[in-house]
């Protein structure tokens, strides 16, 4: 599906909005934009830490990844400044609220997406397709995504298209929905769920000289016309992460990171029984050389009624099942 009609205006929140309000909007419309959240100096640092890796990243291999789009991952390991975006209180607050039905929330991927002049519009899609196109049902949200604007996002340079309200619609019903581009200034952040139809826009800006040698020159000239977003996504703790955090960030770097960031990266139980090491050792303890045990079912799934029922059943002594 590539046909979409501009027309609707997307709603923008002020930077002091409460995470719950953003999460509620996300639940209703599949997206939310919050303006002017990230510190500009932090983005400057991130950009300069990332630039060498961006330049070394190959363009996409198909039209979906984008023949004029570079994707640069492993941000936690490569770019210390990215860690503050991963753990930004607004992002963590929204993800925690939106995915609060799960026992754990984890980092799903980190990627700077550089859409260069000449790029065509990406096919509209729903991010949940990554899970082998499994149908989780309209009510079960698996992902909470952020796209931080590292450059301004404009209609001309490829600001993300969003089709609001399509999270609960099948593709046929979504066909008539009007879309709009998430135009926003550097430092603003677009939230979107894993079900909403969306895709990167075409980059029609005059931009940089695309001939050989265009990568020479200073940072500004190399980046002219490029739309750059920092895509940091979160998922419920029981699915496989899109970016393998245990390899993208090697243990020798991981050991230098703080516990909250490590838990977000997956060094925690994803749910009861998911992610322990060896003799049921907690993964964060294992990384640090400790032996603390993973939590039991009653402790990990505090707000899950089925888990609590299960825990109370096993606490009641009972005999052999009938028929044994």
Ligand X SMILES: O=C(O)CCC(=O)C(=O)O
* Residue ranges that bind ligand X, judged by CB under 6 A: 113, 122, 147, 160, 198-200, 229
Nearest approach in angstroms of CB 224 to ligand X is 18
Between 122 and 268, whose beta carbon lies closer to ligand X? Answer: 122
Between 194 and 237, whose beta carbon lies closer to ligand X? Answer: 194
Between 29 and 267, whose beta carbon lies closer to ligand X? Answer: 29
Q: What are phi and psi of 236, to 5 degrees?
A: -60, 155
Question: DSSP of 37-52, one letter per residue?
Answer: -S-HHHHHHHHHHHHH
Nearest approach in angstroms of CB 96 to ligand X is 22
Between 116 and 282, whose beta carbon lies closer to ligand X? Answer: 116
Nearest approach in angstroms of CB 182 to ligand X is 8
Whether the CB-CB separation of 154 and 108 falls below 8 Å is answered with no
Between 21 and 35, whose beta carbon lies closer to ligand X? Answer: 35
Please state, in angstroms and as integers, the Cα–Cα distance from residue 246 to each residue in 108, 207, 239, 278, 298, following that order.
12, 37, 15, 16, 27
- Please list, in sequence order, all residues whose beta carbon lies within 8 angstroms of the beta carbon of residue 114, skipping any fewer than 6 positions away: 54, 57, 69, 70, 71, 72, 226, 227, 228
Nearest approach in angstroms of CB 225 to ligand X is 15
Strands 143-149 and 161-162: unpaired
Beta bridge partners of 107: 234
Between 207 and 275, whose beta carbon lies closer to ligand X? Answer: 207
Between 122 and 245, whose beta carbon lies closer to ligand X? Answer: 122
221: left (phi over 0), alpha (psi -120 to 50) or beta: alpha
- Please list, in sequence order, all residues whose beta carbon lies within 8 angstroms of the beta carbon of residue 23, skipping any fewer than 6 positions away: 94, 97, 98
Nearest approach in angstroms of CB 228 to ligand X is 9
Separation CA 204–CA 222 (nearest Å): 17
Nearest approach in angstroms of CB 254 to ligand X is 26
Closest CA relative to residue 49, chosen from 110, 91, 93, 109: 110
Nearest approach in angstroms of CB 15 to ligand X is 21
């Amino acid at each position: 599906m590539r046909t979409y009609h501009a027309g609707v205006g997307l709603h923008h929140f002020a930077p002091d909005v409460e995470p719950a309000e953003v999460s509620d909007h996300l639940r209703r419309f599949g997206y939310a934009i919050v303006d002017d959240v990230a510190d500009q100096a932090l983005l400057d640092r991130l950009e300069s830490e990332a630039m060498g890796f961006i330049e070394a990243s190959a363009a996409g291999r198909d039209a979906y990844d984008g023949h004029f789009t570079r994707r640069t991952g492993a941000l936690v390991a490569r770019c210390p400044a990215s860690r503050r975006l991963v753990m930004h209180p607004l992002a963590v607050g929204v993800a925690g609220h939106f995915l609060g039905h799960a026992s754990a929330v984890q980092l799903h991927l980190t990627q700077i997406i550089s859409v260069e002049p000449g790029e065509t519009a990406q096919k509209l899609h729903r991010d949940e397709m990554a899970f082998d196109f499994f149908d989780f049902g309209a009510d079960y949200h698996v992902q909470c995504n952020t796209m931080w604007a590292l450059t301004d996002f404009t209609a001309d340079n490829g600001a993300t298209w969003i089709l609001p309200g399509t999270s609960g619609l099948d593709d046929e019903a979504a066909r008539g929905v009007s879309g709009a581009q998430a135009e926003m200034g550097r430092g603003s952040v677009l939230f979107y769920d894993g079900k909403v139809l969306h895709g990167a826009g075409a980059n029609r800006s005059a931009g940089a000289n695309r001939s050989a040698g265009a990568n020479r020159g200073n940072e500004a000239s190399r980046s002219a016309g490029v739309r750059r977003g920092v895509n940091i996504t979160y998922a419920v703790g029981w699915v496989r992460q899109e970016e393998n955090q245990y390899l993208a960030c090697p243990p020798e770097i991981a050991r230098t990171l703080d516990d909250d960031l490590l838990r977000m990266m997956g060094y925690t139980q994803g749910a009861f029984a998911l992610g322990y090491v060896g003799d049921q050792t907690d993964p964060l303890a294992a990384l640090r050389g400790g032996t603390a045990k993973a939590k039991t079912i009653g402790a990990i799934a505090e707000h899950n009624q089925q888990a609590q029922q299960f825990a109370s059943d096993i606490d009641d002594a009972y005999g052999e099942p009938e028929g044994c």
